Each structure stands twice: as C-alpha cells, then as structure tokens.
C-alpha cells in the first residue's frame, strides 16, 4: 500500500533565512528546522520575521517533532514563539539543543527543557509511518547534521546549511560514507541548500582562513575590534587561537556571546587558553596592542553595535584612532549598504576597516560545484532547491541540469506550496499557511502589511491631524478647526498652508451637512479626502490625514453652565454662614458663659450603673 506523502514549504524559499520545511507521511508531520530572518529596510520597526504560526494551530496535533540541523538563528530562531503555545518534541545535536535552549530562554521565560532531545549522527528514531536518521555535514558550527526521513516510497533528504571541505577539523567533517549509504536506499527527493549557488570560486580551506586571521593580528599594533556572529563557533575559535598566539586578551561584548561561548566551552567545542578572556573592569589595565574586543551585537548581528561604537553611543567601547575593525563575517546582500555606512562611520571615528569576505572566499554554504557533487552522490529522483532567494533556486536548478537531471524533475517552489506524491510524481496540492509572522517588540503577528504600509507612508510624508468640534443638530461648526502636523511641514513657516487646510475642513463639513444625511464615518471621510486633495495640490505630498471630529450639544452645555452657577452660589452662601464671628470676647466673659463640666468620680459612676441594672 502506497503512503500519502507531502512536502510542505513553510519558509526559506525565495528569501534569505526563515528556514522551515515539513514532510507529511500519512497522518504524521515532521518539521525540519524552525528559523527566523532579519527584516529588510522596508519592514519598518520589525525586529525579526518567522514562519506562519497558523500552520501549528491547524496541524499541531499531527506534528511528530521538530528536527534541527544546526544552531544558527535561521534554523532555530522561531522555536521560542512556537513553543509558547505548542508542546512539540525538539531533536538536535548536543550543541544545537543548548543553543536552542538559550534562544527559548531569551524570548520566553517559560523554558520547556523537557521538550528537547539530544541526538547524534548515529541516531535513528522510528515513528509510526516513517523513521528519521541523521548524517554529519560541514558548516560553521560543529555537529551540524542533515536529516533523512525514510518512507516506503524512498528517502527524503534535507541537507540544512552545508558545504564540502576536506580539510575541515573533527566535528566539522561531512560523512561521505553515510551519504553513499542513503543513496543506495534510493533518494526520492532531495531538499538542498541553495544559498551560495552563484559562487564561482571554491571556498577557501579552513586552514587558509586561520592563517589569514593570524597574519591580520600580527600586523596590527593597536586594538582589534572583531565583528562576528555569536553562533559562528568556527570563527570564534580561529579568533581565540590568533589572539593567544599574538599575546592578546579577548573581551566579549554582545547580548548572547557570553552564554554561547561558555556553553561551547563546557561541551568541549571551544578551546580557550587560560586567562585569555577578560572582564570589563580589566579593560583600562590592558594596553591597546594586547587587546581584542569580540563584538556580536544584539541577536548575533554586530553592525549596529559597531555604529554605536563609532558614534560614541556604546556603553563601554568607543572607536578611536589606531583601532582596526575586523569584520569576520560575510554579510548577506541585503545588508551590504549597511556595511558601507558602518565602515564610513568607523573611518570618521579614526579607525580602519578590514573585511574577511573581501579578501577570502569564505562561506558556510555549498558552492555550485559542491551542489553538483552532492547531486551526483545522492542521485535523487526529484530535486527541490531550498534555502535561498529565487535567483539562487533557479541557478541551483541549472546546475542540476548540467549534471544530467531532467528539468521536469526539479521543483521551484514558494512558501506555502505543498508537493503531493501521486503516481510516482509530485504535484502541487492545496497550500498551507506560508505568510510571514512579524515580531515587533513583544507583539507576535499583530503587525501586518497594512500597518507596515502606514509606517512607510508616515516615514515618507508624515502625519497631518485635523480636529474640529461640531453641533450636528444645528449643523454648524462650534469652534475653529485646529490643525497640527508631524514630519510633514514646519508649521511656523507655513501659515498659509495651515489656513488653507482649515478652509478645506470647513468646506467639507458644510457640504456634508447640506447634501448628506448625517453619518460619522462619511463626515470623517469627507474631511480626510478634502484635506488630502488640498495638501497634495499645494505640496505634491500625501501625508497620513487623521480627522478628529467631536460633537457638542449646546442645550446640554447651557444647562450645565446654569447648574454650575447655582452650585457656585450655594457654595458661597455655605462659606459665608460658616465664617466665625468677628466680635471679640474676653477670656473671663467666655468662661462665665461656658457651661461647667460635670465631674463624676468612680463611686458615683458605679452607683449609676447599679441603679440602671436594677431598673432593668
């Protein structure tokens, strides 16, 4: 009997980050990675973006588990928000699980450690309809794993982030023997990393990168400020080795770097020489030529922290003349402009900038040649390019065709697509939730495209506020309209424009009273349209117009005024009656007129009490 197999694209295709894919085998769903992505410049005010959480509300009872390939944010960043409302088992290598716990604790105080399960490359988990096993891959984190879901119809393989590097050290090496074993079982579908598909040159060997960093440290006389991602363990290890060999100490600054470094040290993934790390209190004691500052920034992104250092807004570090800022991470295309702006700020502050990615071909992702080697090794029946923007998916497809795959067997998908296996081929089926869930502060999903559009308009042309009070029974404006603006024009130098807007408000209200039956919504809309047209005609700009229309009832107002006057008169009479007499009375006279106090001794009081009891 054939199995009901679906492959669901929940995030990570046609975009950079937010990786999450699902495989359904009969009534069980297996989630592979649960990541986030950082917003681009159009997402004003958004902190991070995660996959659509509606999927878990609709299909949560079928999910067998979440299986993680590595511990970067693009693979684990959505976990804190998923585990808030859903108790789903999470599986990953030892380091990946620890990094996932840190991410969950950072965003969610209700930490659910009982949901996490540590696995390794030798683990195989049997479920009702399929089994899940793993294989070692090479990435910038140790113990990164690929995932193999074994079904009756064949193997479904997800690589996660990977590359090939024969010189990789223990803990970072790809298990080619295991890849061959999976291939012999028959690979039904391969979901493969496309992030670096357009790379023409091969990645430099890890040993070459180590030597380059060491030479950089040797040739610098002043302080070295290294910008890197907190979870890039291989890069952090290379920085520690270079600092130790050049007689420098390392100070860690950033929101997560301390937790990640000490976790990796505890698990044996980082080799840190004794006395290499220093505290903030020791910074003034250490000469500049003996100090390395490792900056990772909030959520592992160091660029904004570098900008604060360059503009003297960082709480501890200020870039000064003689400093070298060494950007040891390869930024994505979406932040290249920000890198250029940051570099400009650093030079203005007196420092210099050196970028690892400019002088060395370094990436944690497979080049085009690596992707072709993987396809040739795995020999998949169907290829589904994943993890990358659309042009990269297309390039991945072309690379597969070059090594002999039929273009009909390669599927370019988008988020929300579902590929269903029918009659030995995959066909598009009913989609699943695949929209972005935007995180703004503590809000999850409460900011949508409409709010973002309003923010964009506000950032472009500002806001114009029109307030007016009316009496709808008498159909007239009670008081002169008040107008104000923010981010549109400077009011003090634009009196004519403001007065013209006031006239437009009056005209819109008068026309509404004269020609329409009164309706609050229509009245506000008329005011908004009239002001928008006027402002655009005068300035060519379209600010957000917010009409504030208030109502006053004149009869009720007069009654209230009359009642207040009466209350005031009563209060004055009461105050007049309560005033003390102005006639002076001597002490002796006052004593004579005062009634004498009765003094009762205890015996008299007791006699009265007894008499009262007898009468009772």
Q: Residue 173 belongs to a domain with what CATH number? A: 3.60.15.10
Do both 164 and 239 map to the same domain?
Answer: no
Q: Report the pLDDT value the prediction gives residue 490, as an integer from 0 to 100.
A: 78
Do both 139 and 27 map to the same domain?
Answer: yes
Which among 307, 189, 302 is positioned nearest to 253, based on CA atoms?
302
Do both 196 and 236 map to the same domain?
Answer: no
* Type and span of the H or E element at 214: helix 206-218
Tell me whether residue 588 is in a domain: no
Domain end among 325, 358, 391: 358
pLDDT in tens, 7-62: 999 999 999 889 999 999 999 999 999 999 887 666 656 778 899 999 999 999 99
* Pairwise CA distance, residues 550 & 541, whole Å: 27
The C-alpha angle with vertex 180 and arms to 176 and 183, in degrees rounded to 5, equals: 140
469: annotated binding-site residue?
no
Note whether 194 and 396 are within 8 A (CB): yes
Give the side-chain half-sphere CA count within 13 A for 235: 23
Tell me whether residue 63 is in a domain: yes
Which among 364, 346, 392, 431 is positioned nearest to 197, based on CA atoms?
392
Domain end among 436, 469, 488: 436
* Pairwise CA distance, residues 5 & 384, whole Å: 15
Do both 175 and 193 map to the same domain?
Answer: yes
The Cα-based distances of 368 to 14, 338, 409 in angstroms read 18, 27, 19
Q: Which residue has the tokens 């007689």?
A: 247
The Cα-based distances of 300 to 143, 266, 331 in angstroms read 20, 20, 12
Tell me whether residue 12 is in a domain: yes
Which among 53, 82, 49 is positioned nearest to 66, based on CA atoms?
82
Do both 153 and 19 map to the same domain?
Answer: yes
Per-residue tokens: 313: 């807004």
Tell me whether residue 576 is in a domain: no
Q: Report the pLDDT value the prediction gives residue 493, as an integer from 0 to 100.
A: 81
Sign of CA dihedral 121, 122, 123, 128: positive
Do both 110 and 159 map to the same domain?
Answer: yes
Note whether 144 and 70 are within 8 A (CB): yes
Do both 29 and 158 map to the same domain?
Answer: yes
159: annotated binding-site residue?
no
Per-residue tokens: 598: 């009765």
Which among 352, 425, 504, 386 is positioned nearest to 5, based on CA atoms?
425
Q: Report the pLDDT value the prediction gives residue 450, as an integer from 0 to 100.
A: 58
Exposed / middle / buried, residue 458 (Cβ in 10 Å: 0-12, 13-18, 19+): middle
**Residues in contact with 21: Cβ distance below 8 Å, sequence separation at least 6, in sequence order:** 7, 8, 9, 10, 11, 12, 31, 32, 33, 158, 191, 386
Which among 16, 103, 18, 24 is positioned nearest to 58, based on CA atoms?
24
pTM of the model: 0.77
Do both 461 and 502 map to the same domain?
Answer: yes
Sign of CA dihedral 363, 368, 371, 377: negative
Do both 34 and 139 map to the same domain?
Answer: yes
Tell me whether residue 386 is in a domain: yes
361: annotated binding-site residue?
yes
363: annotated binding-site residue?
yes
Indicate the DSSP class of residue 190: E
Q: What is the CATH number of the domain that holds 460?
A: 3.10.20.580
Domain end among 329, 358, 387: 358
Which residues are bridge partners to 547 per DSSP?
A: 466
The Cα-based distances of 322 to 37, 190, 319 in angstroms read 35, 50, 9
Tell me whether residue 585 is in a domain: no
Do both 380 and 478 map to the same domain?
Answer: no
* Pairwise CA distance, residues 585 & 607, whole Å: 40
Do both 167 and 78 map to the same domain?
Answer: yes
Do both 313 and 380 map to the same domain?
Answer: no
Tell me whether residue 69 is in a domain: yes
What residue ranges of the chain have pLDDT lower than 50?
A: 300, 446, 582-616
Tell me whether residue 595 is in a domain: no
Which among 14, 549, 13 is positioned nearest to 22, based on CA atoms?
13
139: annotated binding-site residue?
no
Instruction: Quote the domain boundaries for residue 462.
Output: 449-554
Q: Report the pLDDT value the prediction gives residue 94, as an integer from 0 to 100.
A: 94
Listed in order, strand segments (DSSP E) in 173-236 are: 187-193, 224-227
Looking at the structure of the chain, the number of domains it has is 3
């Amino acid at each position: 009997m054939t199995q009901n197999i679906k492959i669901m694209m929940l995030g990570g295709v046609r975009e950079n980050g937010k990786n999450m894919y699902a495989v359904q085998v009969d009534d069980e769903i297996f989630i592979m990675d649960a990541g986030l992505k950082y917003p681009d410049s159009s997402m004003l005010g958004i902190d991070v973006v995660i996959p659509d959480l509606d999927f878990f509300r609709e299909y949560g009872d079928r999910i067998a588990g979440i299986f993680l390939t590595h511990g970067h944010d693009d693979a684990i960043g959505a976990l804190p928000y998923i585990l808030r409302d859903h108790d789903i088992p999470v599986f990953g290598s030892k380091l990946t699980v620890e990094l996932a716990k840190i991410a969950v604790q950072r965003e969610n105080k209700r930490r659910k450690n009982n949901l996490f399960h540590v696995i390794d490359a030798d683990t195989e988990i049997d479920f009702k309809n399929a089994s899940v096993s793993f294989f070692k891959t090479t990435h910038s984190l140790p113990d990164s794993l690929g995932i193999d879901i074994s079904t009756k119809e064949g193997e479904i393989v997800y690589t996660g982030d990977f590359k090939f590097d024969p010189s990789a050290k223990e803990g970072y090496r790809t298990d080619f023997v295991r890849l061959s074993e999976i291939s012999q079982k028959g690979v039904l579908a391969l979901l493969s990393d496309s992030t670096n598909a357009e790379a023409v040159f091969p990645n430099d060997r890890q040993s070459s990168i180590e030597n380059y960093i060491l030479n950089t440290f040797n040739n610098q006389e002043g302080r070295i400020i290294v910008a890197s991602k907190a979870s890039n363990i291989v890069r952090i290890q290379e920085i520690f080795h270079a600092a130790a060999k050049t007689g420098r100490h390392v100070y860690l600054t950033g929101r997560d770097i301390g937790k990640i470094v000490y976790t990796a040290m505890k698990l044996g993934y980082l080799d840190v020489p004794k006395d290499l790390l220093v505290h903030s209190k020791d910074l003034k004691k250490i000469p500049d030529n003996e100090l390395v500052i490792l900056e990772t920034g909030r959520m592992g992104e160091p660029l904004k922290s570098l900008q604060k250092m360059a503009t003297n807004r960082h709480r501890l570090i200020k870039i000064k003349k003689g400093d070298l800022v060494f950007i040891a991470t390869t930024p994505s295309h979406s932040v290249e402009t920000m890198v250029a702006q940051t570099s400009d700020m650093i030079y203005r502050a007196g420092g210099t900038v050196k970028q690892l990615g400019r002088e060395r071909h370094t990436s944690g992702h497979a080049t085009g040649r690596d992707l072709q080697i993987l396809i040739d090794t795995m020999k998949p029946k169907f290829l589904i390019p994943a993890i990358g923007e659309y042009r990269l998916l297309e390039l991945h497809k072309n690379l597969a065709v070059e090594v002999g795959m039929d273009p009909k067997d390669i599927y370019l998908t988008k988020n929300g697509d579902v590929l269903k296996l029918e009659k030995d081929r995959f066909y598009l089926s009913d989609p699943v939730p695949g929209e972005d869930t935007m995180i703004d502060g503590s809000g999850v999903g409460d900011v949508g495209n409409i709010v973002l559009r309003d923010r964009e308009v506000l950032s472009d042309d500002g806001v114009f506020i029109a307030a007016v009070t009316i009496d709808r029974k008498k159909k007239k404006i009670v008081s002169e309209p008040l107008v104000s603006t923010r981010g549109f024009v400077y009011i003090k130098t634009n009196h004519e424009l403001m007065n013209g807007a006031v006239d437009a408000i009056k005209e819109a209200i008068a026309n509404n009273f004269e020609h329409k039956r009164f309706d609050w919504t229509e009245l506000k809309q008329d005011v908004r349209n009239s002001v928008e047209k006027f402002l655009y005609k005068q300035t060519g700009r379209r600010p957000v117009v917010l009409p504030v229309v208030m109502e006053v009832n004149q009869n009720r107002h007069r009654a209230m005024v009359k009642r207040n006057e009466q209350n005031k008169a009563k209060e004055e009479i009461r105050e007049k009656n309560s005033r003390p007499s102005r006639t002076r009375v001597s002490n002796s006279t006052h004593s004579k007129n005062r009634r004498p106090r009765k003094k009762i001794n205890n015996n008299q009081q007791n006699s009265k009490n007894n008499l009262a009891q007898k009468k009772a």
